[in-house]
Amino acid sequence: MKHSARLTQLIDALRALPGVGPKTAQRMAFHLLQEGRSGARALAGALDSALESVVRCRRCRMLTEDELCSICSAPQRDASLLCAVESPADVVAIELSGSYRGRYFVLMGHLSPLDGIGPEQLGVRELEAILNEGTVREFILATNPTVEGEATAHFLGELATRRGIRASRIAHGVPIGGELEYVDGGTLAHALAGRQSVT
Amino acid sequence: MKHSARLTQLIDALRALPGVGPKTAQRMAFHLLQEGRSGARALAGALDSALESVVRCRRCRMLTEDELCSICSAPQRDASLLCAVESPADVVAIELSGSYRGRYFVLMGHLSPLDGIGPEQLGVRELEAILNEGTVREFILATNPTVEGEATAHFLGELATRRGIRASRIAHGVPIGGELEYVDGGTLAHALAGRQSVT
């Protein structure tokens, strides 16, 4: 069964979405061209206008439509705290937890020399400019607890300590609500090593 | 964390895709605006051009870019066989099986009075026109084995038998490669009721 040219093109284009394989893409295309036509029109328009107006924050590289994102431009945020994360989704997750009042720096990835991602690609020059301002007192490393994330955290931590700024890593351990029995060994080892005295 | 207006718009628009919830939509939006910008541009273009040129086949209601779809316009297809399916994806699945040489009629849904989907919405008038031509000898009912699909098959079957055309329903039973142990009771009941003598 050969699809018509434009239908094939749409199915291929839908595969640009993360986690969408050929079968899901076909299902999406059929849906968009049947009952979802108004949704499809809205999606095409939203893509166009977002591509045109969503840029990166000049300071922290978060996605925004202004020169500075809503966090960087909010005066009530604590400028002495800076938190490095790998992606905009991480900013959203931390903000949803409601437990952080400082600012962010979005790396848009992690160090990965094999993929050609070095300090330059992670915006280290912009980061150093912020650290050089002298307002940051603590630099929180919230990269993912993967090999690449740890390496990136290590590298970024050096940048801060070299300038006499305290660098800290978010805690790793047993998730709240999790059961010890089902937690993997690596996490348990971290939880034990990071134990804190109960007073 | 409030996203900027256009980013929110894009996330909402992505939820028009089947099976995409708020979290997946956010992940897709971030991806499209970071490393996936060229893919996003291609997707917007593909949506526009597909919406403009993909229409339904005048005869069988399959999605196509021409007046007649590639199956309806192929002279080597057996015009004496007509197979009713609920969606274009079903046509693709049957074609992939390589076991059918006739034509199709795509209902684009099933009878569902509560949702306002009656015979009119399923194109019954066009279907009757085809059955009235006198070329169809067998009308195969390949709607889904759900309550609505069965009701639709029953209704459509009447249309054929009333005209002296043989109506048949695809067989339901244990899937090839499946194990009896894991097959649900309804399917087993169908498999037993539809047993065929071994010669």
Structure-model confidence comparison of residues A94 and A178, the more confident one? A94
| pLDDT score of A1 | 64
pLDDT band for position B30 (cuts 50, 70, 90): very high
Closest CA to A136 of A80, A59, A78: A80
Q: Is the confidence at residue B3, as pLDDT, over 70? A: yes
The ranges assigned to domains in chain B are 5-53, 76-169
Average pLDDT over residues A47-61: 93
Same fold, B5-53 and B76-169: no
Backbone CA torsion sign across B136, B138, B140, B141: positive
Candidates 1.50.10.20, 1.10.510.10, 1.10.3720.10, 1.10.8.420; correct CATH number of A5-53?
Answer: 1.10.8.420
Average pLDDT over residues A117-126: 94
Average model confidence (pLDDT) across chain A:
91
Give the start-end residues of each E strand in B46-174: 55-56, 63-64, 78-85, 102-106, 138-141, 166-169
State pTM to two decimals: 0.77
What is the rounded distance in angstroms from the CA atom of residue B14 to the CA atom of residue B44? 12
B46 in reach of chain A (CB within 8 A): yes
pLDDT band for position A70 (cuts 50, 70, 90): very high
Beta-sheet pairing, B102-106 with B138-141 = unpaired
Structure-model confidence comparison of residues B48 and A196, the more confident one? B48
What is the rounded distance in angstroms from the CA atom of residue A182 to the CA atom of residue A98? 27
Shortest CA gap A45–chain B (Å): 7
A66 in reach of chain B (CB within 8 A): yes
Interface test with B, best of A51, A91, A96 (most B CBs within 10 A): A51
Residue in A37, A49, A95 nearest the CB of B51: A37
B116 in reach of chain A (CB within 8 A): no
Residue in B2, B40, B91 nearest the CB of A47: B40
Record: contact B48-A44, CB cut-off 8 A: yes
**In the block, which residue shows the tokens 């067998």?**
B138
Interface test with B, best of A14, A28, A30 (most B CBs within 10 A): A30
Residue in A3, A17, A40 nearest the CB of B16: A40
Q: Which amino acid is at B18?
A: P
Q: Which helix (H) or strand (E) holds A193?
A: helix A185-193
Average pLDDT over residues B71-78: 94
| pLDDT score of B52 | 92
**CATH 3.40.1360.10, applies to B76-169:** yes
Which residues are bridge partners to B64 per DSSP? B55
Q: Is the confidence at residue A198, as pLDDT, over 80? A: no
Q: Which amino acid is at B50?
A: A
A89 in reach of chain B (CB within 8 A): yes
DSSP string, A38-102: HHHHHHHHHHHHHHHH-EE-TTT--EESSSS-TTTT-TTSEEEEEEEESSHHHHHHHHHHT---E
A96 in reach of chain B (CB within 8 A): yes
pLDDT band for position A140 (cuts 50, 70, 90): very high
Average pLDDT over residues A135-161: 93
The answer to whether B40 and A10 are in contact (CB under 8 A) is: no
Record: contact A9-B46, CB cut-off 8 A: yes
pLDDT band for position A184 (cuts 50, 70, 90): confident
Total residues found in chain A within this entry: 199
Q: Is the confidence at residue B1, as pLDDT, over 80? A: no
Shortest CA gap A114–chain B (Å): 17
Q: Is the confidence at residue B59, as pLDDT, over 90? A: yes
**ipTM field:** 0.78
pLDDT band for position B158 (cuts 50, 70, 90): very high
Tens-place pLDDT, residues B96-107 = 888 899 999 999
The answer to whether B104 and B159 are in contact (CB under 8 A) is: no
Q: Is the confidence at residue B199, as pLDDT, over 80? A: no
| pLDDT score of B194 | 81
